[in-house]
A and B are shown apart, each in its own frame.
Chain A
C-alpha cells in the first residue's frame, strides 16, 4: 500500500482566512482524492485530482471554495478558502491502489478547527 503524509496534521484558524493542506505520496499515482469528514459523520468526497488537468468537484463543492493543485504524480494540495466554523472538519487525501481490487488508502488527515 502507498504511504501518504499530510501537512499540517491539525490547525486552528480564524474565520475568513484560508488554509492549504498538503498531501504527499511515496509513489506515483494517477488520481488523488480529497474527502471531508465532519464531526460525527462519515466521509464525503470533495473532489478528484488528476495531474495535468483541473480537479473534478462533487455536487456541493466548488473550486472557488476548495481550490486544488496537482503539480505532479506524488503531490496535491487542497485549500479551504474564506473559512467559516462550518468548515471545521477532518480533511483526508487518498489514493487508489495499483492492485486489481482498486481499494483506496488514506492519509492521516488534517483536523481543522475554525473559530
Chain B
C-alpha cells in the first residue's frame, strides 16, 4: 500500500464549480501535511499547509482528520488558472524529507 494515496483524476469541472480532493495516508506518525500544486513541466509549489483545525486561504480550504488519516482540499469558484496537478504531501516524525502522493489532476474548463 502506498504511504500517501490520492485519486489521480482527472477532474474536469466548469469554471465556477466547487471541487474537492481527498487524500489518505498510512503512517500514523505523520506530523505535517501539505498541498502542493504542480503545473505542467514545472516544479511543485506549496499551495498551503494543512492544520488539525482546518485552514482556509481565499478560495482554498484544507482539512485534516487525524483519526481517519485523511486530508482534503476544497476549491471554490474554480478558475481556469486552477488547472494543475494537486499533490498531497506528508512529513513523518523523524524524517525531514517529504512523501508525495501521486497527484490529482484538475482541468477547469470554460
Contacts and interface: CB of A to CB of B under 8 A. Distances in A.
Interface of A: 1, 31, 33, 41-45, 48, 58, 92, 94, 96, 101-109, 111
Interface string B30-57: 0010100000011111100100000000
Contact of B46 (A41, A44, A103, A109): A103
Contact of A31 (B43, B45, B96, B99): B96
A60 B22 CA distance: 28
Nearest to B41: A111
A105 B96 contact: no
Nearest to B44: A106
Interface residues of B, number: 19
Contact of B97 (A33, A41, A101): A33
Interface stretch (B12-20, B59-67, B68-76, B100-108): B100-108
Given A43-B98, A107-B43, A108-B43, 13 more contacts: A1-B46, A45-B99, A92-B44, A101-B32, A102-B32, A102-B96, A103-B34, A104-B46, A104-B98, A106-B43, A108-B42, A109-B43, A111-B41
Contacts of B46: 1, 103-105
Contacts of B79: none
A110 B80 CA distance: 27
A41 B43 CA distance: 13
A92 B43 contact: yes
Contacts of A45: 97-99
